[in-house]
Amino acid sequence: MSGHHEVFGCPALLNRGPSPRRGSALLYVIASIVLLGAVGGGVAYFSSSSSVSNVAKTAHNQAYYAAVSGLRYAEAPGTDLAALENSTTTYSLGNNVAFRMTVGAKAASAYPVTVCGIYGAGTSMEANHQLPSVPVIPGSGEEPDEYGGYDISIPGDAYQIAGAKSAHAGMANKLNDVVTEGHPDYAGTEYIRLGNRTTQGFACLWFNDTKTILEDTTYCQNGVCKFGKGFRLYLELQVVSAGADGFTLSFVNAANNTVSDCGGDLDMGELLGYGGPGVSGRGLRPAKIAIEFDTYENGSGTCGSAGSRNDDDDGHIAYSYWGSIDGCKTYDDNLHGAGGTTNDGRSTIDGGEYSGNRTRNPLYNSVNMNNTKTKTGTNITYKKVTNLEDNTVHTVRMEVTRATNANGSGAYTMKTWLDCTVGGEPCEGIKKLTEDFAAKTPDLVTSFTMDKYFHGLLNTFLVGFTQATGASAQEVHLTNFRLKFRE
Ligand SMILES: [Ca+2]
Ligand SMILES: [Ca+2]
Ligand SMILES: [Ca+2]
Ligand SMILES: [Ca+2]
């Protein structure tokens, strides 16, 4: 963002003022632009086949958003309107977008502010939008959002409920949803509701929106996002009904899964909707990664039968992948300790018999991801949590990095902080998604290599929640899920 002096089309105003200063308020403006752009459906971008009228509409929309963002900037707590009194300054926001802000003489406690939004200054597509002068009290606007900006938000963005099944008639499509009514703690607040306080059911809920991210119009399309270099995320959870099985936050490859897919088995709530064949019979195919919030201890019975998760505790969080491909198929996907060997090519990705030439099976020699249960040291993938089901709000921060090694395999790291506090207060910066969090040791931390085949499947992925329960009714509330991709 920089000062700019070649402006066309906005009404002539006062003399040009000082160059804009940098600071958090400027970041706020950029965040506002991003948000407004999202509201407008990513209007900054259009294909070369767009008609001229669409281009014109796009240009004018951008000018309008630029003007509104300028007004937000004037109101932002970090903007020194006194220093800008009786001046006009043009702020370039990049991508041919700018606004020109004129601050008049202080009257009472406010400054009259006039903003003109500009798109494509000096080009044949230039468009302007002039807002009427309004009195602005310095610092009267909202604080910049505490996340430092984000790409995905649920509630907020479009989502898809998938693969739901319930033992109760008419309940399946209400198992997972986004609601505002209900719990008094959430009056007027939207939250994701998992389970709908019923027994014996499973369902998934996937992000299902289209977004321009990192200036890439194809980054997220209908819920299918590029995994890229990974992401940081934050959410809050509240387990309202104690005694049920729990849920996962999942990242599943979009090469072999869609937003209509889900795992699950009505007789095995312990699969959490992450393992098991689901309604389709295919379940959620590997490659996939999850963090489970497991609220019920299931022992070490025969894989595929109830009571076979190899849990050590009633309450715990843990990382899960997909166990093995053959043998127990999807039923060991969240079975602690399952997997780890190399596929021999005898099985399809669903775990069925492969009928073709086994050495040509893409799974041949690809490596299963085992769900290790490591509790101490520098690599921690499983942690006992005694208070998950206490019906209070718990905070979760997660950071995932992803890179490709020279041989094509994938290098991943994951860190998770549950209820990060210092002196009883939330850790400072725990919600901030623009930088890594280092002030406190994570509760879960791991790094692993994924072989080339499975790593490639994760070039695009779906993000969402899976949940299931058996004989005990489940209701989990999730608020403020925010995810930001790494640059
Ligand atoms: Ca429990
Ligand atoms: Ca369990
Ligand atoms: Ca478990
Ligand atoms: Ca498996």
Convert the pLDDT of each residue in 258-285 to its tens digit: 999 999 999 999 999 999 999 999 999 9
pLDDT at 3: 43
Contact status, residue 1 vs residue 91, Cβ threshold 8 Å: yes
Q: Which ligand is nearest to the CA of 241?
A: 1
Whether 463 shows a pLDDT value over 60: the answer reads yes
Q: Which ligand is nearest to the CA of 468?
A: 2
Residues with C-beta atoms within 5 A of ion ligand 2: 270, 294, 296, 298, 309, 311
Give distance in angstroms: CA of 64 to centre of ligand 3: 50
Q: Which ligand is nearest to the CA of 270?
A: 2
Contact status, residue 35 vs residue 43, Cβ threshold 8 Å: no
**How many residues are recorded in the chain?**
487
Convert the pLDDT of each residue in 381-416 to its tens digit: 999 999 999 999 999 999 999 999 999 999 999 999
Give distance in angstroms: CA of 373 to centre of ligand 3: 9
Q: Which ligand is nearest to the CA of 290?
A: 3
pLDDT at 187: 57
Helix, strand and coil content of the chain, in percent to the nearest 5, comes to 15, 35, 50
Q: How many angstroms separate the CA atoms of 310 and 95, rounded?
A: 53
Give me the residue spans of the domains in the chain: 2-136, 152-485
Convert the pLDDT of each residue in 17-29 to its tens digit: 444 433 444 545 5
Give distance in angstroms: CA of 333 to centre of ligand 4: 4
Whether 480 shows a pLDDT value over 50: the answer reads yes
Contact status, residue 81 vs residue 135, Cβ threshold 8 Å: no
Question: Encoding tokens for residue 444?
Answer: 């879960």
Give distance in angstroms: CA of 397 to centre of ligand 2: 22
Give distance in angstroms: CA of 183 to centre of ligand 3: 27
Contact status, residue 410 vs residue 386, Cβ threshold 8 Å: no
Q: Which residues contact 90 (CB under 8 A, 6 or more apart)?
A: 3, 4, 5, 7, 16, 98, 99, 100, 101, 118
Least confident residue range of 139-143, 169-173, 229-233: 139-143
Convert the pLDDT of each residue in 363-373 to its tens digit: 999 999 999 99
Task: Give the 3-state DSSP-derived string for 203-252, with helices as H, strands as E and coil as C.
Answer: EEEEECCCEEECCEEEEEECCEEECCCEEEEEEEEEECCCCCCEEEEEEE
Q: Which ligand is nearest to the CA of 243?
A: 1
Give distance in angstroms: CA of 365 to centre of ligand 3: 28
| b (16+ CB within 10 A) / e for 256-295 | bbbbebbbbbeebbbbbbbbbbbbbebbbbbbbbbbbbbb
Give distance in angstroms: CA of 309 to centre of ligand 4: 12
Give distance in angstroms: CA of 443 to centre of ligand 3: 16
Mean pLDDT for the chain overall? 88
pLDDT at 12: 56
Convert the pLDDT of each residue in 419-451 to its tens digit: 999 998 999 999 999 999 999 999 999 999 999
Q: Which ligand is nearest to the CA of 277?
A: 4
Beta bridge partners of 110: 107
Distances (CA, A) of 381 to 5, 292, 352, 409: 55, 11, 29, 21
Q: Which residues contact 144 (CB under 8 A, 6 or more apart)?
A: 24, 25, 27, 28, 31, 76, 78
Whether 248 shows a pLDDT value over 80: the answer reads yes
Looking at residues 222-245, what average pLDDT do you find?
Answer: 97
Convert the pLDDT of each residue in 42-98 to its tens digit: 333 333 333 444 556 688 888 988 898 899 889 887 889 999 999 999 999 888 899
158 or 33, which is more confident: 158
